[in-house]
Amino acid sequence: MLPITIFVLPLSSVYGPSMLPTLNLTGDVLLAEHVSHRVGRVGPGDVVLVRSPRNPRKMLTKRIVGVEGDKVNFYPDPANSNQYQSAVVPKGHVWIQGDNVYASRDSRHFGPVPYGLIEGKAFLRVWPPDCFGPLDQ
């Protein structure tokens, strides 16, 4: 049991619209490992559990869109797609966004996130049973 607790986070429940359609609005239970982000093995497309930069008691589930040195183009307000902005992800940070840009508070609102706030990389959905399986990029 010790290796499991060292390399895998406890099951994490995820609720809300920010990761639709990848994750269900009514809730999914994910399994995440907490080694990859410590050795620099997370990148664009990975779904990660991140401690909120605005409320450290809150855990966010988002997708990495950019890593240090990447130029990220984004719409601060997706409803107004006439005007996009660009940002370069600084060293030691990642850019995270929810898959549902219309209902997600993410790097578009609070900027790049330090690697130190990443708690784990989600890799398997265990609930609901009909969606059991690996999280695709």
The pair of structure tokens assigned to 99 is 């898959």
Asked if 18 is an active-site residue, the reply is: yes
pLDDT-derived band at 28 (thresholds 50, 70, 90) equals: confident
pLDDT-derived band at 70 (thresholds 50, 70, 90) equals: very high
Query: Can you say how many angstroms the Cα of residue 1 is from the centroid of all Cα atoms in its chain?
Result: 27
Please give the tally of structural domains in the chain.
1
| Mean pLDDT value across the chain | 82
Domain span at 122: 2-134
Rounded distance between C-alpha atoms, residue 80 and residue 104, angstroms: 15
Active-site residue, selected from the candidate residues 13, 36, 58, 62: 62
* pLDDT for residue 63: 94
Rounded distance between C-alpha atoms, residue 51 and residue 62, angstroms: 11
- What distances in angstroms separate CA 56 from CA 4, 59, 120, one per listed residue? 25, 8, 15
Residue 137 has pLDDT above 60, yes or no: no
The CATH number of the domain holding residue 88 is 2.10.109.10
Active-site residue, selected from the candidate residues 18, 36, 104, 107: 18
The pair of structure tokens assigned to 78 is 């997706």
What burial letters (b/e) apply to 4-34, b meaning 16+ CB within 10 Å? eeeebbeebebebebbeebbbeeebebbbbe
Asked if 86 is an active-site residue, the reply is: no
